[in-house]
Amino acid sequence: DDGDAGDTGDTGDAPKGVLAAASELAGMVDALLNGDDAAARKDAATQLLEREEASVPELIRDLAELELATRCKSKKSIITRLTERGDPQVLPALRRVSALPKKGCGMFKQSDCWTCLRRTVSASIDRLEKIEAGEDPDAAPATKKTTKKSTKKKSK
């Protein structure tokens, strides 16, 4: 007997997909993806990138690089790579980037430091949310059919 008949192989709350391959890195990955504290996320990202490259899946390395990137174009490039992978597990990190303050740069600190990536991150979130929902991310958006009201007057 290879196991109980009722064993479904369910691993409970364990991460799925490529993140499961990094179970020994789970604490750092969780801090990186879900941590509320920016310093803890940066620390986890640094620790992950200091590990032997082969021991950390590319997806996780990309997430760590995104956390540590300080230039708009760098973040945008990493977001593009993450989106191309098509893994909705990166959504928390993308939502955090999307929520970055829109002020803080320029002479009076009133300009958006992240202007160059706003459209990209928004499109990435939309695409990955569709994938997460099991929808085709390349399908045209559904349009509502409008019915024309009759303009004919009722005759008596």
User: Lowest-confidence range among 5-9, 47-51, 65-69?
Assistant: 5-9
Q: Tell me the average pLDDT across 44-58.
A: 92
What DSSP character marks residue 25?
A: G
At 77, give phi and psi (nearest 5°). Answer: -60, -45
The tally of CA atoms less than 13 A away on the side-chain side of residue 114 is: 21
What type of residue sits at position 76? K
Residue 61: both structure tokens together: 């390395």
pLDDT in tens, 74-115: 999 999 999 999 999 999 999 999 998 888 888 888 898 889
Domain boundaries, the chain: 17-68, 73-135
Task: Taking residues 24-42, report their average pLDDT.
Answer: 90
Q: Are 64 and 32 in contact (CB under 8 A)?
A: yes
- Other CB atoms within 10 A of residue 145 CB: 5
This prediction's pTM:
0.72
